Structure 1
Amino acid sequence: MSRPVQALLTRLEEIVGGARVLTDPEALATRQVDHLRPSAIIQPADAAQTAEVLRFAAGEKLALVPCGGGTKLGIGAPPERYDLALDLSRMNHVLAYDPRDLTLGVEPGMRIENLLRTLSEQKQFLPLAVPFSDRATIGGIVAANSSSPLRHSYGGVRDYCLGMEFVTGEGVISKGGGRVVKNVTGYDLHKLLIGSLGTLAVITRVNFRTFPLPPAQGTFVASFSDAEPAFSFCHAVGESVLAPQIIEVADPGTAHLLFSAETPARIEPQQWSVIITAAGQSSVVDRHARELGRMASAADAIELVPLTDKETSSILARIREFPRLILEAAPAAAIFRIGVLPTAMPFLLGQLSKLAAQNHLDLATLTRASGIVFAAFLPKEENTAPSADLAKAANEVFHACGKPEISASAMLEWCPAEVKRAVGNVWGPPRKDFALMQRVKNVFDPQNVLSPGRFAGGI
């Protein structure tokens, strides 16, 4: 901080109120980013206070990291500087909701769990089944572009985010997109913020399209001896007239993590599992049951098991919480999120398995048939230098993803801070459009006060 700390804190207290500037060590520890702690936590009440805080920070060249539930603070590179945590948890209200038009406006600090509960009262929902759902907030979900298993049928955040209000690094309140499904306001500027990890602007409102809750749902688990028939089955389902809500492929390690003793699917140690959920009218679910049974048999599945409603709820929650389950079981794990064409998935998984074995690591993967692979590298119990092995494997994953036959986009989404330092760049090699990304950053945040260094290429 350029001026005496107390003088800066006094000014911030004038903006947001004395009780909303926190400096006690326990509070600061909750906003730690890769062993770095802020000098204070600032809790604005609305967009106007947020803008004033940012104008002050830009003038004093203070670095801020926006946060809410704190579930995304471990994502991204360590910040170059970190003076203030901009805690948006007070901004947690539904600002507008019209169930008839299927539109919603919500503040960034709203927890997804609470929002889904509110929407369910109108028999509606958002397809945001994201990890750490008890603490994850809308702002963090959008800023991290969190992946949901419902992406297969509803798309990603970009597909149902209608517009945003946000504050730039200079403290200017701006808007992008609109509040209605049919938007003719021009370029979707707000979509630049989706996945930018708080490096361009601070989101103060998000407008969504909502969806009706389906009247019926059914989940089916097909088991296979290895990856090839499992992905052949997925391909057959994708080419059919069926329209599943969810298609996930779990390798044997992940299958053991997902399934408990209460589940009728008898998952053996070397079995791959394809989890498919169908939703809609009961006749739609029934048709999926018939057709999936036929296709599973044609793909040489060991079995296809339907799950009860209770079992479905349990399994889908575990799929949603896959990163959390991995990190609870192995805090030293490194979890990649890889975007890849479905046709390249089997080859990619084969390469990942080889890299894990070469670096004395275990591997657990969960694959979204729509094009996302979560790959968790876990140190073996006897490994005495896991950070070095994880870092070596990580760099080899980035190299493999750059091969023409894979051509995937990878980021090291979760890993210990020491692994990040050893890897150097958790976002992988610089992209061809990096110069354009840097220009966008300079327009939105010319003083580089928002999460400096956390994004790709040190942005």
Structure 2
Amino acid sequence: MSATRTSALTRLEGLLGTEHLLTNPTQLAGYEVDGLRPAAVAQPGSAGEVAEVVRFAAAEKLAVIPVGGRTKLRIGAPPRRYDLAADLTRLDGVLAYDPGDLTLGVQAGIRFAELSRVLAEKRQFLPLAPAFAEQATIGGILATNSGSPLRHAYGSARDYVLGMEFVTGEGIETKSGGRVVKNVTGYDLHKLMIGALGTLGVITRVNFKTFPLPHAQTTFVGSFDSAAQALGMCRAIAQSALQPRLVDVLDPAAAQMIDPAHARLPAGQWSVVAGAAGDERVVQRHGIDLARIAEGARATAFVALTDEEEATLLGRLREFPKLAAETSPAATLFKISVVLAQMLALLERARQVIQRNQLASMTLLRASGIVYLALVPTALDAATLARLTQAATELIHASSSSEIGGRPVIEWCPTELKSQVNVWGPARDDLMLMQRVKKAFDPQGIFSPGRFVGGI
């Protein structure tokens, strides 16, 4: 570290205190991103301190990566520079909560599991349901736009985030949206922060609309011999008057990972997991109609889960990205946005690519429009990396073709693959607009440089 950089960190230590500026190499290792480690980790304790840290970094021209629970640091392209991690986990408070008005304001560093426990005391919840639920923070969940099996019924986070407070690249504390449902004002700048991977600003506060826990809920599983039959059930559900809270499809390999004992997901079968929630009458009606739809789609079995089975299965479905990543050191996880009508065609194209490149895989499809496809080679030698690179390139091309019309992103992969493949997929038509937005929010480009789409 240069004398100038050491002097700068000493000044930062004066802002935060010795205990909240980490420089020990062992500690820094936990903040590594694609082989790069920061020179220091700042742990601000308030939005004001976040702004001070950012102003300091801007003055010193330091590259900053905002960090929460450190569960998704592998998402995105490798950073061009990484001088300082801004760890938000000290900002972990509930700032405002009105259960009667279904509104909530929290600091960005609060962990999802802890927030869920607070809401459960008032029989409420947030439908985020991310992977790494115990460790993930609210800010990180939103910055990475983490998926949720409950998106089918509740939409994405953009639908129930009422407002945000964040710090721009110039260290300016900024507000967008509101704190109550009936008083959302101003431009929806906060929606730009969702999924931006910390490249536009540092989220410090989030205001949510909350939801009452349903009086009753049941999860059903239909088993099928083929993907066509399983997706046929999904299309029939979409064309019906039913409003399930989730509809997920697992291929046999994914079912094996989610339910190793095959207690409810039979071996060798495609599984459709559909959840119903509401009052008892609504749940019973869903059960009857889903059974009829499953029979029409030629299900080999259709069962309702017990409460215990449901909790276990839904927990593992939520953790699918984490579980898939843990199956192999070379695991490569695609997240493909694609309409339900094109999922079968996507599966067939993917099957051909995977077979041609001699790779193992597992797939989770969400009828709400998301496909998770994991390539899981057993090791990462040179030959495997070459096949993985070829397969990833072909999958990106196939899923984004005019026939499929999907938008592929590689959420998780070995760093070695990132030098061979663009993890954000094909160039986007709105890239110039995104670059202008980046320039407006972060003029010096100090936030997560190079990690986002188009090297933003």
Band the TM-score falls in, shorter-chain normalisation: over 0.9
Amino acid at match of 1:343: A
2:274 pairs, out of 259, 272, 276, with 276
Provide the rounded CA distance (Å) in 2 between the counterparts of 1:449 and 1:380: 37
SS of 1:313's equivalent in the other structure is helix
1:453 matches 2:442: no
Aligned residue in 2 for 1:73: 73
- What is the CA-CA distance between 1:9 and the residue it aligns to? 1.2
Alignment of 1:141 onto 2:141: yes
Most deviating of 191-200 and 10-19: 10-19
Give distance in 2, aligned partners of 1:230 and 1:75: 30
Name the aligned partner's letter for residue 444 of structure 2: Q
The corresponding residue for 1:431 is: 428
Alignment of 1:153 onto 2:153: yes
Give the secondary structure class of the aligned counterpart of 1:166: strand
- Corresponding residue to 2:441 among 402, 426, 444: 444
Please state how far the C-alpha of 1:238 moved relative to its aligned partner. 1.2
Moved more, 216-225 or 399-408: 399-408
The AA in structure 2 aligned to 1:152 is H
One-letter code aligned to 2:55:
R
CA–CA separation in structure 1 for the residues paired with 2:404 and 2:183: 36
User: How many angstroms does 1:385 deviate by?
Assistant: 2.3
| Length, aligned pairs only | 456
1:5 is displaced (CA, Å) by 2.5
Query: Match for residue 200 of structure 1?
Result: 200
Q: Would the aligned equivalents of 1:420 and 1:426 in 2 still touch at CA under 8 Å?
A: yes
Which amino acid is the alignment partner of residue 323 of structure 1? P
**Corresponding letter in the other structure for 2:25:** P
Could you say if the C-alpha distance between residues 211 and 382 of structure 1 is closer, same or farther in structure 2, counting changes exceeding 3 Å? Answer: closer
In 1, Cα distance between equivalents of 2:161 and 2:198? 17
Q: Contact 1:353 / 1:363 at 8 angstroms: preserved in 2? A: no
CA contact (8 A) 2:66 2:86 kept: yes
Q: Paired residue for 1:377?
A: 375
1:140 is displaced (CA, Å) by 0.3
Tell me which residue corresponds to 2:4: 4
Q: How many Å separate the matches in 2 of 1:86 and 1:155?
A: 30
1:212 match = 212
Q: State how far apart, in whole Å, the 2-side matches of 1:418 and 1:437 are.
A: 27
Which SS does the other structure have where 1:286 is aligned?
helix
Q: Is the 8 A contact 1:361 1:380 kept in 2?
A: no
Deviations 1:310-354 (A, max 9, x none): 000000011001111112221211000000011111101111111
- Contact kept in structure 2, 1:63 and 1:81, CA below 8 Å: yes
CA distance in 2, matches of 1:398, 1:3: 45
Distance 1:117 1:416 in 2: 34
Relative distance call for 1:219 and 1:229 in structure 2 (3 A) is: same
Q: Cα deviation per residue 1:84-132 (whole Å; 9 max; x = unaligned)?
A: 0100010000011000100000011100000000000000000011111
SS in 2 for 1:385: helix
> Structure 1 383/68 Cα, relative in aligned 2: closer, same or farther at 3 Å?
closer
Q: Give how far 1:262 is off.
A: 7.0
Between the aligned partners of 2:427 and 2:380, the Cα distance in structure 1 is: 35
1:116 and 1:52 mapped to 2: Cα distance?
A: 30
Q: What per-residue deviation string (whole Å, max 9, x for no partner) do you get for residues 340-373 of structure 1? A: 0111111011111111111111120001100000
SS of residue in 2 equivalent to 1:73 = coil
Cα pair 1:123 1:213 within 8 Å, conserved: yes
Change (3 A) 1:262 1:235: closer
Matched to 1:221, the amino acid is: V
Matched residue SS, 1:195: coil
Shift of 1:2: 7.5
- The AA in structure 1 aligned to 2:450 is G
Q: Which residue pairs with 2:326 in the alignment?
A: 328
**Shift of the alpha carbon at 1:261?**
2.6
State the alpha-carbon separation in 2 of the partners of residues 80 and 438 from structure 1: 16
Do 2:330 and 2:380's aligned partners in 1 also have CA atoms closer than 8 Å? no
Comparing 4-13 with 311-320, which one deviates more in the overlay? 4-13
1:214 partner SS = coil
Q: Secondary structure at the match of 1:373?
A: strand
Q: How far 1:388 sits from its partner (Å)? A: 1.8
- Matched-pair contact (CA < 8 Å) for 1:219–1:277: yes
Asked if 1 retains the 8 angstrom alpha-carbon contact of 2:327 and 2:376, the reply is no
SS at match of 1:311: helix
Counterparts of 2:339 and 2:291, CA distance in 1: 26
Q: Is contact 1:131-1:321 (8 Å) kept?
A: yes
1:399-418 alpha-carbon deviations (Å, 9 max, x no partner)? 11221111111100000100
Aligned residue type for 2:389: A
Structure 1 unaligned spans of 5+: none
Q: Would the aligned equivalents of 1:139 and 1:203 in 2 still touch at CA under 8 Å?
A: yes
Which residue does 1:20 correspond to in 2? Answer: 20
Q: Deviations over 1:376-420 (max 9, x none)?
A: 011156976222211211111111122111111110000010011
Worse-superposed segment, 142-151 or 325-334: 325-334
Aligned to 1:402, which of 400, 409, 419? 400
Distance 1:292 1:91, change over 3 A: same
Rounded to whole Å, the distance in 1 between the matches of 2:144 and 2:381 is: 32
Task: Give the aligned partner of residue 106 of structure 2.
Answer: 106
TM-superposed deviation, 1:189: 1.0
Give the Cα–Cα distance (whole angstroms) in 2 for the partners of residues 56 and 387 of structure 1.
41
2:235 corresponding residue in structure 1: 235
What amino acid is aligned across from residue 193 of structure 2 in structure 1? L
Segments of structure 2 that go 5 or more residues without pairing to the other structure are none
Once the 2 structures are TM-superposed, how far is the Cα of residue 182 of structure 1 from its aligned partner?
A: 2.4
Q: How does 1:331-346 map to 2 (within 5 A)?
A: 331-346=329-344
Equivalent positions of 1:72-91 (< 5 A) are: 72-91=72-91
Q: What is the aligned-residue RMSD (CA, Å)?
A: 1.4
Secondary structure at 2:419 match in 1: helix
TM normalised by structure 1 equals 0.97
- The corresponding residue for 2:48 is 48
Matched residue type, 2:92: N
CA distances 1:154-185 after superposition (whole Å, capped 9, x unpaired): 00110000000000001000010111112452
Q: Which runs of 4+ in 1 moved over 4 A?
A: 380-384
Query: Does the 8 Å CA contact 2:66/2:88 hold for their aligned counterparts?
Result: yes
2:256–2:262 CA contact under 8 A, matched in 1: no
